[in-house]
Structure 1
Amino acid sequence: MTVWVCLLRGVNVGGANRLPMPEFRALLADLGLPGAVSHIQSGNAVFRAAEAPEVLAARISHGLARRFGIATPVLLRSLAQIEAALAANPFPEAAPTALHFFFLGNGLSDDLQVSLQARAVDGETLVVANDLAWLHAPVGIGRSRLAEALGRLKLPVTARNLRTVQALAKIARTLP
C-alpha cells in the first residue's frame, strides 16, 4: 500500500469551504481510508491506500461535494513524491515561510513559465519541474503577483509552505 498525502485547495480560508478536520477524517474513513491523519486546518491529510491516485482523488472529490457541498481540487502525492520535492528544493537556504511548493495538476508549458516569471517582483524566483513549482518569495506570499497568477491557473493547483510540506512528510513517514 502507498502512503498518500492529500492536499485540498481553498478549504477553511477566509470562512469559505469550511471543513472541520475531524469531519474530513471521518469522510476519509467512510471512503475506505481508515487511520487518516490530518495536519492543520487547511485540508491536508495522510493515509494509506492501494488504489491509483486518480481513483482516490475522484472518490475524495465526490465525497467532499456530496457530504459538505465543497467542490475543490484534490491533489495527491505519494510519500516518495513529497520526499523528492523536498530533496530537489532549489532554495535550501530559504526561510520556511518564504518558500512555497505549488502542487500542480499537470506541468506548465515553457511559454506559461516565461509569462509567470515576468510577474516576479521583490526578488521572487520560480522554479518549475513537471507538476511542481517552488516559489521563493522573500518578502512574503501575501502580496505576490506571481503567487496570485499561479493560483489562477486553469488547472488544479494548491500551495503549501516549506514548513507544512516538511510536517506532512514527517507524518507520512511515521504513519502506522
Structure 2
Amino acid sequence: MRKQRLVALLRGINVGRAKRVAMADLRKVLSDMGYDDVRTLLNSGNVVFDCNSADAANCAARIEEALVLKLGVPAKVTVIEAEQLAEIVKENSLQGVADDNSRLLVAVLNKPKEDRGKLEPLARQSWQPEAFALGHHAAYIWCPDGVLASRAAAAMGKALGDGVTSRNWSTISKLNSMANS
C-alpha cells in the first residue's frame, strides 16, 4: 500500500500549564496507531509522519480521539499533506515584508474553501503596520508588535474560532524541511 507523508498540528497543547503532552508520548501514540516514521518538532505539537494513503482522510479525527483516550488531552488537530505544506511556504507573499520570522504568523486552515470565504474581507482591509494575506490553505499575518497585540490575528481568531491553528514562520519552515526531506 502506498505511503503518504503528513503533518499534524495540534492546537493549544503545552501552552502554559494546561494540556501538557510530552513529545515522546505523542510519538508513541501515533506509532501505536500504525503511523510510520513519526517525528516531532519543538514541544508544541508539530508531528511529521507517514501513513497509508487510504487512511489519510481520517487522520485528524483518529489522532484527536487517541489524544483523549491515551493521554487524557483534548486538542483540535489539523492534518495536511507534505505537498500542501510546501505550497503554503511557496505562497507566502509576506516574506519580503516581515523582518522577524517569530512575528510572521501562518494560520493553517482546517476547511480551506469555507475558511477563505470568512477571511476574504480581512484580506481586503488595511492593517498597517500589520499585514494580512491569504493563500489556498493558509492565512499569513505579519505582527510587527507581536501576536498578542495583533489586530489582524484577533480578527482572524474571531472569524474562525478554533477552526484554525497557527505557527510562526520559523516553525513552518522547519516543518516543511522535515516533511519534504
Length-normalised TM-score, structure 2: 0.85
Structure 2, unpaired ranges of 5+: none
DSSP-derived class of the 2:73 partner: coil
Q: Distance in 2 between matches of 1:80 and 1:35?
A: 17
Moved more, 71-80 or 101-110: 101-110
When residues 12 and 113 of structure 1 are mapped into structure 2, their CA distance, relative to the original with a 3 A threshold, is same
Q: 1:10 aligns with which of 9, 12, 21?
A: 12
Q: Distance in 1 between matches of 2:28 and 2:79?
A: 18
Q: 1:127 aligns with which of 133, 149, 158?
A: 133
- Compute the displacement of 1:154 (Å): 3.6
Q: Distance in 2 between matches of 1:111 and 1:89?
A: 19
Structure 1, unpaired ranges of 5+: none
When residues 115 and 87 of structure 1 are mapped into structure 2, their CA distance, relative to the original with a 3 A threshold, is closer
Length-normalised TM-score, structure 1: 0.88
- Compute the displacement of 1:110 (Å): 4.2
When the two chains are superposed, the root-mean-square deviation of aligned CA atoms in Å is 2.0
Q: 1:58 aligns with which of 35, 58, 61?
A: 61
Pairing of 1:1-176 with structure 2 (within 5 A): 1-50=3-52, 51-93=54-96, 94=98, 95-107=100-112, 108=115, 110=117, 112-114=119-121, 121-152=127-158, 153-174=160-181
- Compute the displacement of 1:115 (Å): 5.2
Which structure dedicates a bigger proportion of its chain to helix? 2
Confirm or deny: 8 A CA contact 1:106 1:155 kept in the other structure: no
When residues 35 and 110 of structure 1 are mapped into structure 2, their CA distance, relative to the original with a 3 A threshold, is closer
Amino acid at match of 2:10: L
Amino acid at match of 2:167: R
- Compute the displacement of 1:10 (Å): 0.2
- Compute the displacement of 1:5 (Å): 0.8
When residues 116 and 155 of structure 1 are mapped into structure 2, their CA distance, relative to the original with a 3 A threshold, is farther
Moved more, 97-106 or 123-132: 123-132
Confirm or deny: 8 A CA contact 2:104 2:141 kept in the other structure: yes
